[in-house]
Amino acid sequence: MRHTLLASLEALANPAFAKKAERFFRREYCPDDIFIGIRTPQCRDVLKNHLAATTIEHVRALLDDPRHEMRLTGFIALADVYQRPSKAPLWAESQENDDDVRRLVCRVLLEHTHRCNNWDIVDSCVHKTLGPALVHFHRDAMSLYMASSEQRDVKLLPDWYQKLLGSNDLWETRMSIVLLLGVKAYDLAFVFAICEHQLARFFEDPMCRCTLRGARFESLDLIHKALGWVLRECGKLDRAQLMAFLDVHAMKASKTTVRYATEHMPKTRAKAYVALAMNS
């Protein structure tokens, strides 16, 4: 028997909108993805109405669903419950406290990174789950990483974040960057340090590429944009720190990254930084 959340989502399927979604999402990133035509706000509304009666196993089933909107809803559910564990009382039955629920959320998410396989799914959840978890559960590891030598050692970071940072998978690489949006309010210097790490990774090996479904994928566009997005958001908190970062590292970044990072700067200043950057 289908659970209520899944049935409610299926009832919203719209074939006409599904065709639009297929055109919107570049198929080279998701050739096998199935769209059934549910808008993201609709996914959120259904989740709001049914999350309290939904179990973690129901959400696992959504994460493993071949349909894009089901997976998206599953990852949004993880984000919502991490933020407020009380939204999912059935999840808490086997957990001692809210932090145990949050650990469960992160564990399930990390078990399903292979299902977090489009940019909108990544961007819907990791900065509300893995980012805050890094700060909440691994603050000491972050401090050790920042206190290490100039050649910082990622082995000082928690195992799961080491794995994301070292992964060649396109989506796991994007996850490792976008989750920093959930860290920036607590430790801006750490966010800049990880951005530096990722910039260096691709700068030092110009032939380095990510993989998609296990095969080499030439485009780094979604990685360049993710880095630029995170840097831009850091600049909103402290423009001077962003400028100091770009003064040193703009020449290691793609022009796409620097354009995104400098969107809120005066045009003359932004153009000067973009001129320093590498061709994307």
* R_g (Cα) of the chain, nearest Å: 19
| CA dist., res. 280 & res. 248, Å (int) | 18
Query: Over 70: is that where the pLDDT of 90 sits?
Result: yes
CATH class held by domain 1-116: mainly alpha
Mean pLDDT along residues 186-203: 96
How remote is the C-alpha of 196 from its chain's centroid? Answer: 17
Where would I find the H helices in 148-187?
Answer: 159-166, 170-178
pTM (predicted TM-score): 0.96
| CA dist., res. 148 & res. 145, Å (int) | 5
Per-residue model confidence (pLDDT) at position 232? 99
Residue type, 199: L
Residue range(s) occupied by CATH 1.20.1660 in the chain: 1-116
| CA dist., res. 134 & res. 152, Å (int) | 17
Please write the tens of the pLDDT for every residue from 211-246.
999 999 999 999 999 999 999 999 999 999 999 999
| CA dist., res. 27 & res. 234, Å (int) | 31
Query: Over 70: is that where the pLDDT of 87 sits?
Result: yes
Confidence of residue 280 (pLDDT cuts 50, 70, 90): low
